[in-house]
Structure 1
Amino acid sequence: MGRRALEVEEVRHSYRRRPVLRGVDLRLRAGTLTGIVGENGAGKSTLLKILAGELRPCHGTVRHHGRFGYCPQHVVLNDSLTVHQHLKFFQSAFRLPDVRRAEEIMNVLGFAEYANERARALSGGTRQKLNLTLALMHDPQVLLLDEPYQGFDWDTYQRFWDLAARLRTAGRSILIVSHLAYDTERLDELWTLAGGVLRPRAAGTT
């Protein structure tokens, strides 16, 4: 069994006494691509917020073994800043020596030419690319992605999976949460969240 990058034990959460998560257990191994699918309202985003530390669970524990990156479903950018200014801001926040890794990711995702564009001028897909770049620029061991495909055209979609494969090869773990199970044959593990419970599902099924 490979080294664990993330451990989730008996996580429960409710909103106004309405149970959303009913005891979620999950282990992410280093160097794996994992997917969680479920209908809208199943609690996927709630679970991801708990894994990212944005939300405290009513019960249970989450253990990260190293750095993590979080890419929420709704992009949070400063519309008055350029792409490069966002990189510099996060460079300072992460205490990085430079932004070269971020620039490499921009090249992989195909939007390096937008470095001097203000966020307000970017398309939805390009904003999502920037969101993903910011989550990755500090080289996290675990990357948490909530509906990462939103706004991606076909070329960007292929670039995303190429990047995911590179990260896996480098020993990083990626957790993709989505309401639709796209390209499940690319995943090492696939889970379904329904009724507040996480259940294994064979990767490659639809």
Structure 2
Amino acid sequence: MEPSSTPVPTPVLHAHDIHKSYGKHPVLRGADLTVDAGQLVAVVGENGAGKSTLLKILAGTLPVDRGEVVLSGTLGYCPQDPVLNSSLTVEQHLRYFAAAHRLPHLDRGRELVRLLGYERYGESPVGELSGGTRQKLNLTVALLHDPDVLLLDEPYQGFDWETYLRFWDLVDDLRNRGKAVVIITHLVFEQDRFDLLADLADGRLTPRTASREDTHVGA
């Protein structure tokens, strides 16, 4: 009998030896992270540990001092502070972001609005929305083009319990479709949801535990 072969996981995001300092203050000192397709990863650290700095580097919005980031596929980035225009409505944001991604229609955007439960605010200016609803829109525009890799910075901030549960339903759907999701957080309430938890301390990432035994992880 020939030995059974186990499919080799496909890395979609790989960061190696990431260094970043602000002036004389080193924040990242050789951080490494590998994320496979269909994998859910939490990067956990105290405030000031450099989590948002790492996410900006992974997203390509902040240059590294040293190191390399390799991305395979498309990227969605949801920063902690929503990048939204307070004078535009929810519907206008969907249209503008769809045009930026050259999407032929708004079907995915409207599906996400429905899944996150804020349909009634379609014609409301963002400046009139609650913080939680703005965060829903922030997540929606990051997912509008159905990216292969999704980077989220403290994504549940401002969510009520129902929205929190809807968020995880959405994440489960993404993983089941082979999308990779990286969540930056200072607290992890449900560790068993994740394939990998990586602690960021002293500028480096250390894998803590893999909750799903059949999933390859690397960091």
Tell me, yes or no, whether TM beats 0.5: yes
Q: Residues of 1 paired with 2:209 and 2:90: CA distance?
A: 39
Q: 2:72 aligns with which of 65, 68, 76?
A: 65
How far does the alpha carbon of each residue in 1:110-145 deviate from its partner, in whole angstroms, 9 at most, with x for none?
112211111011110000000000000001000000
Tell me what 1:107 maps to. Answer: 114
Deviation at 1:203, TM superposition (A): 4.7
Which amino acid is 1:143 matched to?
Answer: L
Do the aligned residues in 2 keep the contact of 1:13 with 1:21 (CA within 8 Å)? yes
1:42 matched residue in structure 2: 49
Aligned to 1:17: 24
User: Does 2:157 align with 1:150?
Assistant: yes
Deviation at 1:76, TM superposition (A): 1.6
Matched, 1:169 2:169: no
**Equivalent pairs, count:** 204
Structure 2 unpaired stretches of 5+: 1-7, 212-219
Q: Distance in 2 between matches of 1:17 and 1:28?
A: 30
| 1:75 match | 82
Deviation at residue 78 of structure 1 after TM alignment = 0.5
SS of the aligned residue for 2:145 comes to coil
In the alignment, what sits opposite 2:215? none
Runs of 4+ aligned structure 1 residues displaced above 2 Å come to none
Pair 1:203–1:181, CA change in 2 (3 A): farther
- CA shift, 1:164, in A, is 0.2
How many Å separate the matches in 2 of 1:203 and 1:146? 21
1: distance between equivalents of 2:172 and 2:190? 13
The percentage of counterpart residues that share the same residue type is 55
Stretches of structure 1 lacking an aligned partner (at least 5 in a row):
none
Secondary structure of the structure 2 residue equivalent to 1:88:
helix
Q: TM-score, normalised by structure 1?
A: 0.97
Determine helix, strand or coil for the equivalent of 1:7: strand
Quick check: 1:70–1:143 contact (8 Å CA) kept in 2?
A: yes
- Name the larger-Rg structure: 2
Task: Say whether the 8 Å CA contact 1:184–1:203 is kept in structure 2.
Answer: no
Distance, in Å, in 1 between the alignment partners of 2:25 and 2:88 is 40
The alignment partner of 1:74 has SS state of: coil
Tell me the distance in 2 between the aligned counterparts of 1:133 and 1:153.
17
Using the TM superposition, give the Cα deviation of residue 104 of structure 1 relative to its aligned residue in structure 2, in angstroms: 0.6
Match of residue 92 from structure 2: 85
TM-score, structure 2 as length reference: 0.91
**Amino acid aligned to 2:51:** K
